Structure 1
Amino acid sequence: MTDPASDSDGSREPQFSTAFDPAHGRPVSVAPGILRVTADNPSPFTFRGTNSHVVGDAARCFVVDPGPADEAHLAALLEAVDGRRVEAVILTHTHSDHSALAMRLAAEVSAPLLGARRKAAPPPAAGVPVLDAEPAGDLAFARHLEDGETLDLGDRSVEVVATPGHASDHVALALSGSGILLSGDHVMAWSTSVVAPPDGSMGDYMASLEKLLSRSETRYLPGHGGPVERPVSFVKALLHHRRMRETAILKRLDAGDETIPAIVAAIYPGLDPRLQGAAGLSVLAHLEDLQARRLVCSAASPGGAAVYWPAAR
Structure 2
Amino acid sequence: MDIPVDAPTGLAMTLDPLVTRILAPNPSPFTYTGTQTYLVGTTELAVIDPGPDDPEHIAALVSAIAGRKVLAILCTHTHRDHSPAAAPLKALTSAPIIGCAPLSLADAGPRADASFDAGYAPDRVLADGERIAGPDWTLSAVATPGHTSNHLCFALEESGGLFSGDHVMGWSTTVVAPPDGDMAAYMRSLDKLMHRAGDRTYFPAHGEPIARPHRFVRGLIGHRKQREGQILRLLEAGTGTVPAMVERMYVGLDPRLNGAAGRSVLAHLIDLRDRGLVSEEGDAWKRA
Cα 1:154–1:137 shift into 2, 3 Å: farther
Match status 1:293 vs 2:275: yes
Tell me if the contact between 1:297 and 1:310 (Cα under 8 Å) persists in the aligned partners: yes
How far is the alpha carbon of 1:23 from its aligned partner?
1.9
Counterpart in the other structure of 2:34: 49
How far off is 1:134 after superposition?
A: 2.2
Deviates more, 1:204-213 or 1:128-137: 128-137
1:99 matched to which residue of 2? Answer: 83
Q: Which residue of 2 aligns with 1:250?
A: 232
CA contact (8 A) 1:87 1:154 kept: no
Task: Indicate yes or no: 2:117 matched with 1:136.
Answer: yes
Q: CA deviation at 1:120?
A: 8.1
Q: Is the 8 A contact 2:78 2:103 kept in 1?
A: no
Residues 99 and 190 of structure 1: CA distance in aligned 2, closer, same or farther (over 3 Å):
same
Aligned length: 286
Aligned partner of 1:218 among 197, 200, 204? 200
Superposition map of 1:1-313 within 5 A:
21-58=6-43, 60-118=44-102, 128-131=109-112, 133-215=114-196, 216-300=198-282, 306-311=283-288
Higher relative contact order (CA 8 A, sep 6+): 1
Q: 1-side partners of 2:164 and 2:6: how far apart?
A: 19
Letter in 1 for 2:221: L
The change in CA–CA distance for 1:263 and 1:298 in structure 2 (over 3 A counts) is same
Alpha-carbon offset, residue 252 of structure 1: 0.7
Name the Cα RMSD after superposition.
Answer: 1.9
What displacement does 1:106 show? 1.3
Q: CA deviation at 1:154?
A: 4.7
Other structure's SS at 1:49 match? coil
Q: Unpaired segments of 5 or more residues in structure 1?
A: 5-17, 301-305
Q: CA deviation at 1:62?
A: 0.9
TM-score by length of 1: 0.87
| Cα distance in 2 for residues equivalent to 1:272 and 1:204 | 28
Deviation digits for residues 216-254 of structure 1 (CA, Å, limit 9, x no counterpart): 211000001110110011100100000000000111111
Q: TM-score, normalised by structure 2?
A: 0.94
The worse-fitting range, judged by mean Cα deviation, of 136-145 and 266-275 is 136-145
* Identity %, equivalent residues: 48
Give how far 1:21 is off.
3.1
Question: Following TM superposition, by how much is the alpha carbon of 1:115 offset from its aligned partner in structure 2, in angstroms?
Answer: 2.4
Judged with a 3 Å threshold, the aligned counterparts in structure 2 of structure 1 residues 32 and 219 are, in CA distance, closer, same or farther, namely: same
Instruction: Note closer, same or farther for the CA distance 1:88–1:251 as it changes in structure 2 (3 Å cut).
Output: same
Q: Which amino acid aligns with 2:83?
A: S
